[in-house]
Structure formats: C-alpha cells, structure tokens
Chain A
C-alpha cells in the first residue's frame, strides 16, 4: 500500500517511476482508447466462439418451431441424418425477414444466417490461435537458435527459410494441404484414437489441415526478425554475465535472451492470427479447408452461387463478422507494436 502511494506521489510530481517492461507497455497501450475498445471486441468474439456450440443447438430447430428430437426426426424423413451434429437445416425458404432466431434471414439451404455466423467464430479462433501458435513457436525457436548459436546452425536455418520463402505461397499451402487431406495421413488421422477418444471428432481433418498449413508456411517473417535481433543482443553484457556465471545455453536463451525479443513474438502472433483467418476463406474456397464445421470461409465461398439468385445477406453477415474480428486484431496488433517498442518513449 505504501509503495503504491509512493508511486502515485512520484507520478503526480512527474518523477520517474520504475516500472517493469510489461507495466510500461500496458501503461502505453492503455492510452490508446480505440485499442482498448478493440480489445473488448476481441474478447466478445472469443466468448461467442466458446459458446458457439450452444448457439447452434438453439438456432437449428427453433427456426422451424420444433423441439430438437422432433426436428431431428423430421430431418430424418427427408434423408438428412443430423446424428446430434449442430447443423441447423430448417425448412424456411431463403429470405431476409425472420423471427428472433433468423433475424438475419436464412441462406440458400434454409439455415439461419445469424446462428451460422456466430458458430463460425469457433473455426476462426481455432485456426487463428493454433495456426499462429504453431507458426510463432517454429519461427521463434529457429530464430533464437540461428541467431544465438551462429555457425552451421545459422546457415542451415537461413537456407531453410530462404528456400521456403521462394516457393509461391499459394502453391506451397496447396501442396501441404493436399498431402494432409488426401494422403495416407488422412486415413491415419481418421482412425486415430487416444483411448476411447476419437481425435478427429474433436478437431476435424479440415481444421487440422488449416492449422498445419498456416503454421508451416508463415513462420519465416518472425524467424528473420528474431534472428536479426538475437544477433544484436548476444554480445551484450548481460549475456556475457550469464555465461560467466556458468549458465547453460538453454537457460541463457530462454530465460535471458527470449524476454528481450518477446515483443516481436507477440506482435507477430497477432499478424499471423489475421493471416490465418483470411487464409481459411481462400483455402476453403479452393476446397482444401474446412468442410464439416460452419465457417465464414464456407459462407463466403458459397456466396458465389447465392449471389446469382440475389441472396446477398449470408455474404454480408459473414463478411462483416470476419471484418470485425480482423480489424480488431489488426488494430490491437498495431497498438501493441507502438506500446512494446522500447525505443518509442511517450
């Protein structure tokens, strides 16, 4: 309590207060009010994604004014086996008007546009988070090793990423997607069970595919940045001090060097998150993305045919929801870059 009031007193007199780098970054980030607003937006999307499954159940049968079992039975008569899966197919013809559950109308297949839009956040978050995570882990680790160890390790890493960067991005993504989706791996993954738990039921092959494709193709930028930064950092006194204390390479790398380049990792995570959810749309359109779960990519890809009959609202909904999340992450990423850059003093 005393420390806090001392700090306040210092601050009131505009004297320098010692803050940890994280506190300093947060203090600077807070100044950007729009950034805070967008942070809340991301949080809302995240909670919608967490509860996406629940939304699905409601939207599916209430559209037709039925209970779930009755709805499943009526679907069964039409030859559509729902088997408890949240695919809300109603009998309402495509229109823009609707009740509470179809407030944004229904699509060409009679599904609630509103609920599908909300359900899709789940795919966006899985692809964005895990795709970016995989990419960041690869880029960070290779960048740290190459920059710190130098020598042949550095040469190998540089060779790997310059090779990868020279392959046309789209074709590389497609090649990896083909291997994951069509090769022996697909069969192996379909049968993969941990105990009684079927892995492919939890994360479908299409989703896993996207995560792998994005993780493997988008780590180069971060790797380059981290490598260059570590080059600068590794001769600094604190690293030498750690060495002279007899710390191992692993400890120096992850406890001492990593915190000094971690701002790059955070910023890059937000950038890759955006790349991932945008790539989902393109890859799903090309037929190598998500096919089981509802996703914005599916809705947008399907809009190509829907627009011919004038059904524009599914595209508008999915496009707007996607835009909202991307804009929020882009803006927060930008604000983070400003807040985390130690050279910018405000």
Chain B
C-alpha cells in the first residue's frame, strides 16, 4: 500500500508540472501588462519599468515557470496586485468563513442524500420512488444562480427569515450561513440522491441480502445494517472526491451572501485581474484534488479488505 501511495505521488508530479505550465501560460496571455492594472492610466515609463523589474515581467517564460514552481513548493505566492497583501494572508483570512459554510453543508447534505436514497431504494418501484426520481431530475434542472436568487429574495428579503447579506465570526456565523447551507443541500441533493440510490440498489440485489432475508432478519435491519455498511465504500469515495470542492464550491453562495471566504476572495481577484491570487487558487485547487484523489483510492482499500492496491 505504501508503495502504491508513493507511486501515485510520483505520478502526480508530472501532472502538477503540466498544470503549473498551463496555468502560467493561459493567465499570462490573458492578463496583459500588470502595470496597466497596478499603476492606473498614463503611468510614467520609469514606474512601469520599475514594476516590471520587481515582478519579473520581462523574464523569459522558463524563468517565470521556475519561480512559479518554487512558489508552489514553498506555498508562497508573493503579494496581491491590488493591495500588496501577501497571498498567504489572504488565504488564511478566507479559509475560516468558507469552511464554516461548506463543512456543515457537505455533511448535512450527504446525510440527507444517503437517508433519502436508502428510503427510496427500500420502496423501489413504488410511487414514492418514481416521484422522487422525477423530483430529483427537476431539482438538478434548475440553474444554481436561480436557486440562490429566488431563495435569497423570498426567504431573506420578503419573509425576513434569514439575514440577506453579511457574516459574523464565531457562533454568530450560524445565522448567516444557515440559508447558504440550505441552498447547498438542495443543489447537491438531486445528483447525490440518485447516485446513492443506484449504489444501494446494486447492493440490495446481492446474495448476502437474500441470505439475511431468508434467515428472518427484518427488512429495516437488512437495509440499515447490512446494505448501508456495504454502501460505505462508494459513499466515502464519493465524499473524498467532493472534498476539494469545499474550497471553491461555495463560490457563488459566498458572492451572493457576502461571506468573506475564499470564493469571495477569488471573485474580487477575478474582477481586479489579480493574477498572483488567481494562479495560487488554481494551483492549490489542483494540489488538493490530486491529494484527495489518492486518498479516495486508499480509503477503498482501507474500507474493503478485498481491494488490494498495486
């Protein structure tokens, strides 16, 4: 297993090298001259030259690439274009609010989806099952932006059940993240429930379920103790795949509800063409994805003794 993990990490290195190359290349073409962003209109040529010198704008591409790789290795992406705050500080500020929204949303959402999936799998073929399938398809057919706008308008603006905008650190955060969490759950439930239903149905048709039933185990116990335990593998694997999105997945929610998290930071950075921040985001997102991809495979082997990683 350790050998497997090491091999996966080694395989991830060329992936990260290429991603760094693509990131740098794409954003470099797109961005144009940083002086235009930083120095405003009509800067003096000396100021432009000084800034280019400082940021290494005129360096050959390979030098920039080397510096960028070094930044990723040391997790130090320099300072933001807009206000010279170190990118590291910006991330440290944003991570708390983001996770206070995404972790409860993710855990609650998964819980609700799994329970609903087991329920409809239990009553498979019934009216409930068919209705839920249609409801799930309808739910994933609504644009996420429409969800956010409608819920914000109706529940927060009209009915005043939740605050419309803002954030409070500490326990006060609960009132502000409650509505975004609710929207997240509604957004994810359609896809997740359908996925877990398929997983549960696959397990239900297996021999051990028939054995358990034939020896007189109650249907409820078959479902929640035998089937659920065997469903854990796909559930945990799927959860591991979703985890990296806890950083960027709340992007729209944060913008609309004024939560000062990483998504909001990224939105501001995009608006200001703040390249150091955008590039750092892309690389860190990739690193997280790669790490959790490996973890998902490892969790496979840990949860299922039959799986041998090679």
**Chain A, residue nearest B23 (CB):** A175
- Chain B, 167-178, contact with A by CB distance < 8 Å: what is the 0/1 string? 000000000000
Question: Does A286 lie at the interface of the complex (its beta carbon under 8 Å from any beta carbon of B)?
Answer: yes
Question: Does A179 lie at the interface of the complex (its beta carbon under 8 Å from any beta carbon of B)?
Answer: yes
- Chain A, 150-166, contact with B by CB distance < 8 Å: what is the 0/1 string? 00000000010011011
- Chain A, 306-319, contact with B by CB distance < 8 Å: what is the 0/1 string? 01000010010001
B285 close to A171 (CB less than 8 A): yes
A176 close to B153 (CB less than 8 A): no
A300 close to B146 (CB less than 8 A): yes
Interface size on A, residues (CB 8 A): 40
* C-alpha gap A282/B249 in the complex (Å): 13
Q: Using C-beta atoms within 8 Å of the partner chain, give the interface range for chain B.
A: 35 or more
A159 close to B15 (CB less than 8 A): yes
- B149 proximity list for chain A (CB < 8 A): 300, 303-304, 307, 315, 319
Question: Does B251 lie at the interface of the complex (its beta carbon under 8 Å from any beta carbon of A)?
Answer: yes
- Residue from A178, A286, A300, A322 in contact with B27 in the complex, judged by beta carbons closer than 8 Å: A178
B146 close to A163 (CB less than 8 A): no
A175 close to B144 (CB less than 8 A): no
**Chain A, residue nearest B271 (CB):** A287
- Residue from B14, B18, B282 in contact with A175 in the complex, judged by beta carbons closer than 8 Å: B282
* C-alpha gap A319/B141 in the complex (Å): 10
A34 to chain B, nearest CB (A): 8
- A331 proximity list for chain B (CB < 8 A): 137
* C-alpha gap A190/B114 in the complex (Å): 51
* C-alpha gap A123/B176 in the complex (Å): 36
Question: Does A334 lie at the interface of the complex (its beta carbon under 8 Å from any beta carbon of B)?
Answer: yes
**Chain A, residue nearest B14 (CB):** A159
Residues from 264 to 310 in B contacting A, C-beta threshold 8 Å: 270, 278, 281-282, 285-286, 289-290, 293
**Chain B, residue nearest A288 (CB):** B270
- B152 proximity list for chain A (CB < 8 A): 307
- A301 proximity list for chain B (CB < 8 A): 145
* C-alpha gap A71/B32 in the complex (Å): 41
Residues from 185 to 204 in B contacting A, C-beta threshold 8 Å: none
- Chain A, 294-305, contact with B by CB distance < 8 Å: what is the 0/1 string? 001000110110
Question: Does B1 lie at the interface of the complex (its beta carbon under 8 Å from any beta carbon of A)?
Answer: no
- Chain A, 328-344, contact with B by CB distance < 8 Å: what is the 0/1 string? 00110010000000000
Knowing A176-B26, A281-B145, A319-B146, the reply to whether A168 touches B138 (Cβ < 8 A) is: no
Knowing A331-B137, A334-B137, the reply to whether A322 touches B146 (Cβ < 8 A) is: yes
* C-alpha gap A327/B15 in the complex (Å): 37
B281 close to A171 (CB less than 8 A): yes
B146 close to A315 (CB less than 8 A): yes
- Residue from A168, A174, A315, A330 in contact with B286 in the complex, judged by beta carbons closer than 8 Å: A168
Question: Does A268 lie at the interface of the complex (its beta carbon under 8 Å from any beta carbon of B)?
Answer: no
Number of residue pairs across A and B with beta carbons under 8 Å?
111
A323 close to B142 (CB less than 8 A): yes
A312 to chain B, nearest CB (A): 7
A201 to chain B, nearest CB (A): 24
Question: Does A167 lie at the interface of the complex (its beta carbon under 8 Å from any beta carbon of B)?
Answer: yes
Question: Does B76 lie at the interface of the complex (its beta carbon under 8 Å from any beta carbon of A)?
Answer: no
- Chain B, 200-211, contact with A by CB distance < 8 Å: what is the 0/1 string? 000000000000
B18 close to A163 (CB less than 8 A): yes
A310 to chain B, nearest CB (A): 9
- B14 proximity list for chain A (CB < 8 A): 159
A163 to chain B, nearest CB (A): 5
B158 to chain A, nearest CB (A): 9
B153 close to A307 (CB less than 8 A): yes
B144 close to A282 (CB less than 8 A): yes
Question: Does A278 lie at the interface of the complex (its beta carbon under 8 Å from any beta carbon of B)?
Answer: yes
- B270 proximity list for chain A (CB < 8 A): 174, 286
B243 to chain A, nearest CB (A): 13
**Chain A, residue nearest B285 (CB):** A168
- A171 proximity list for chain B (CB < 8 A): 248, 278, 281-282, 285
* C-alpha gap A119/B32 in the complex (Å): 35
**Chain B, residue nearest A320 (CB):** B146
B134 to chain A, nearest CB (A): 8
A327 close to B19 (CB less than 8 A): no
**Chain B, residue nearest A318 (CB):** B146
- Chain B, 146-169, contact with A by CB distance < 8 Å: what is the 0/1 string? 100110110001000000000000
* C-alpha gap A161/B142 in the complex (Å): 28
Question: Does A326 lie at the interface of the complex (its beta carbon under 8 Å from any beta carbon of B)?
Answer: yes
Question: Does B214 lie at the interface of the complex (its beta carbon under 8 Å from any beta carbon of A)?
Answer: no
